[in-house]
Amino acid sequence: MFSWIKVQHQGVDVCINNAGLALPEPLLSGKTSGWKTIMDVNVIALSVCAREAYQSMKERKVDDGPIININSICGHRVVNNADAHFYTASKYAVTALTEGLRQELREAKTHIRATCISPGLVETECAYRLFSENPEIAVATYKSVKCLQAADIANAVVYVLSAPPHVQSGDIEITPVEQSM
């Protein structure tokens, strides 16, 4: 992907890592293959993209490009739902990776910034995948509060992108007003 970007667009100026996967794989009964899939998408792919974006920016002397990791409120709080515990662990990893990335970028004396945007309940296919064996739970979850919309997350991304180069937006948590978590 990054080779194609280099050929087509000369490189990366901005990286927005927005992949996420939740599977119903509890800690006591989940499948190792499911856990590996979650980690590959939520942690490894995000880390690879951040590394490659940084290398592309560095190569082209882009010194203020943002790397934005779209995380989850689950990266900061553990919900009482066994099906979500491994997903939550992967999102805690994203929180830690973003802070580690900030520290490494600072040590590299670059102005490339790393930000973590952590939405609460957004109406997507995520809950349907997580509760695939019982889809009425997903329906009830999305009806329980006025959910965030994709535009709400996009507005947070625009905020980060529009911040002056000397401003580091750290962790931005966005939740529906009615969501208790």
In whole angstroms, give the CA distance from residue 76 to residue 79.
Answer: 10
Radius of gyration of the chain (CA): 17
User: Cα separations (Å) of 146 from 102, 157, 179, 180?
Assistant: 33, 21, 8, 12
Owner of token pair 């739902």:
81
Catalytic residue among 87, 92, 142, 159: 87
The alpha carbon torsion through 64, 70, 72, 77 (nearest 10 deg) reads: -20
User: Cα separations (Å) of 153 from 1, 51, 69, 131, 173?
Assistant: 24, 23, 12, 23, 10
CA nearest to 26, candidates 122, 131, 119, 144:
131
Tell me whether residue 92 is one of the annotated catalytic residues. Answer: no
Residue 115 has phi, psi (to 5 degrees) of -130, 145
- The residues carrying an active-site annotation are 87
